[in-house]
Amino acid sequence: MKTGFVNIFGRPNAGKSTLLNALMGEKMAIVSPKVQTTRHRIKTILTEKDYQIVFSDTPGIIEPRYKLHEKMMDAVKSALEDADVALLIVDVNENHEEANAIFEALKLKVPAIVVINKIDRASQEKIKEAVTYFESRNYCRKVITVSALSGINIKKFLKPILELLPEGEPFYSGDDISDLPTKFFVSELIREKIYELLSDEIPYHTAVLVREFKEKTTLVKIVADIIVHRETQKAIIIGEKGSMIKRLGTEARKEIEAFLQQKVFLELFVKVKPKWRENDMQLKEYGY
């Protein structure tokens, strides 16, 4: 049996989370056109009779500007340490030199496969140019071209990965598809709606903390806090006469119900915690 950790690295918005969701066949990581949506390392488990692959989506690689960023880059470092294979994902239309500089800076000690993504948005010439460029890099064992958004041929995609994985016993038993608690995914789905519905800097100043998760006979009761820096941000999230928080709650609830396959009662509160992104204790409380 082939088993191992396959960890996904790349710049913000290269399509790491979309790729992970496509590989798992369901939504495991939140997706947004805005950069730096992923803040945690999200591990998912793909088990078949002859293999178990533990995929990790990691935050986009950035230069840290505050403690939250540092925690995000720590997640990238931990993924570097236990990888058996690295998937280096690059948007076909982004600057190859810049992506290459980031991949080289990772100083990988494991075989890497370069995944050239978003090929549905590029000409054949552009795709060929990207393949040629990355094939010549020392860290690259193979190049795969995909459009993660349009869907991927899983069997074909996994073949070169499985060739590089060691043989061994599975790390996880049963049919679990992640080692993260359900509460984590609930908070992420709420956060995704904040990215979707609120503009500018607001999503980057926001954290979500699930305070209550109770499974009752007919539904799941969830109480969550949306944490912001300032009163002005709180006012924007609440909206005129509570219109925005109501919309946010309705849309997040639908997503959570689809994820849990259960009816949900969702209550949201907005709390102001100045400079939470720089506060170690608060970062820990919010799961960073």
Residues 100, 151: one domain? Answer: yes
Residues 6 or more apart in contact with residue 206 via CB below 8 angstroms: 191, 194, 198, 226, 227, 228, 233, 237
Q: Does 233 share its domain with 129?
A: no
Q: What is the pLDDT of residue 18?
A: 92
Is residue 175 included in any domain, yes or no?
no
> 174 in a domain, yes or no?
no
Pick the last residue of a domain from 164, 198, 226.
164
Query: Residue 172 falls within a domain, yes or no?
Result: no
Q: What is the mean pLDDT, run by run of 10 residues, along the chain of 288 residues?
A: 95 90 88 83 92 92 85 87 94 94 92 96 96 96 93 91 96 87 95 92 94 95 97 96 97 96 97 94 89
pLDDT of residue 175: 82
* Cα Rg, the chain, nearest whole Å: 20
Identify whether residues 200 and 100 lie together within a single domain.
Answer: no
SS (H, E, C) 235-270: HHHHCHHHHHHHHHHHHHHHHHHHHHCCCEEEEEEE
Q: Quick one: 135 and 96 in the same domain?
A: yes
Q: Are residues 148 and 274 in the same domain?
A: no
Question: What's the rounded Cα separation, in Å, for the pair 277 and 288?
Answer: 10
Domain CATH for 87: 3.40.50.300
Instruction: Match 């950069």 to its residue by tokens.
Output: 35
pLDDT at 25: 87
- How many structural domains does the chain have? 2
Rounded to whole angstroms, the Cα distance separating 50 from 1 reads 5
Range of the domain at 263: 182-285
Residues 152 and 261 in one domain: no
Both 159 and 189 in a single domain?
Answer: no
CA angle 277, 82, 288 (to 5 degrees): 15
- Please report whether residue 58 resides in a domain: yes
Q: Are residues 252 and 150 in the same domain?
A: no
Answer yes or no: do 135 and 42 share one domain. Answer: yes
Final residue belonging to a domain, choices 111, 138, 164: 164
Q: Is residue 171 part of a domain?
A: no
Q: What is the CATH number of the domain that holds 259?
A: 3.30.300.20
